[in-house]
Amino acid sequence: GQQLNQSPQSMFIQEGEDVSMNCTSSSIFNTWLWYKQDPGEGPVLLIALYKAGELTSNGRLTAQFGITRKDSFLNISASIPSDVGIYFCAGPFGGFKTIFGAGTRLFVKA
């Protein structure tokens, strides 16, 4: 079935560093969603992208909808310990379904 490939699988960074992660697909998506899951919690929507080439920010987070519509990027600037968690990309596929990538696990050392 359709998959979203996220990379890297995990990242270990120092507080204050910038972070970049991406999500690719073999199919075109019309919407890209980025969620964060804190330990023991459900995912929370961070940023939604609806147009190819769109660049959207939410505080220290910036996400881009790739021009090819087959990829998306999420950047976190000046990371802090509470950025720790799993970041998922997702997109609606086949009408009513939303598929999720396997996630990028972020670890931040203070």
Q: Which of 7, 31, 62, 75 binds another protein (CB under 8 A)?
A: 31
| Residue 44 binding another protein, by CB under 8 A | yes
Residue 92 interacts with another protein (CB under 8 A): yes or no: yes
Is residue 88 a contact point for another protein (CB under 8 A)?
yes
Rounding to the nearest 10 degrees, give the CA dihedral for residues 80, 11, 25, 99: -70
> Quick check: 58 and 76 in contact, CB under 8 A?
no
The binding site for another protein (CB under 8 A) comprises: 1, 30-31, 33, 40-45, 48, 50, 88, 90-92, 94-103
